[in-house]
Amino acid sequence: AWGDIDGDGALDLATGVGFGISQPNRIYRNNSFVLTEGEELLEGRGQSDERYTTYAWGDMDGDGFMDLAAGGPGIAVVVYHNDG
């Protein structure tokens, strides 16, 4: 899913993985139309063990920053709140 997580006007990319794949969920930041090496998505205090397959961007808490919702079949939806 594409969304501007850092407010710089360039769309960043959140990627999920399929079931049975050991790679982490990642966000790739867009710096002048070049995607950076992906950062692992974190849930709470540690890396998420869930392998999300579906993402949606939106300002879910009304603070003006794009937040990211992640989910998949058989797992709970998690919202990553962006504080700017």
Other beta carbons within 10 angstroms of residue 8's beta carbon come to 12
Tally the domains of the chain: 1
- Domain range spanning residue 30? 2-80
Provide the whole-model pTM.
0.72
Alpha carbon distance, N-terminus to C-terminus of the chain: 19
Summarised one tens digit per residue, pLDDT across range 36-53 is: 776 766 554 334 556 678
User: What does the alpha-carbon distance between residue 48 and residue 51 come to, in Å, rounded to a whole number?
Assistant: 8
Tokens representing residue 60 in the block: 């879910």
pLDDT greater than 80 at residue 31: yes
Question: Mean pLDDT over all residues of the chain?
Answer: 78
Q: Supply the DSSP string of 41-54, one letter for each residue.
A: PEETTEE------E
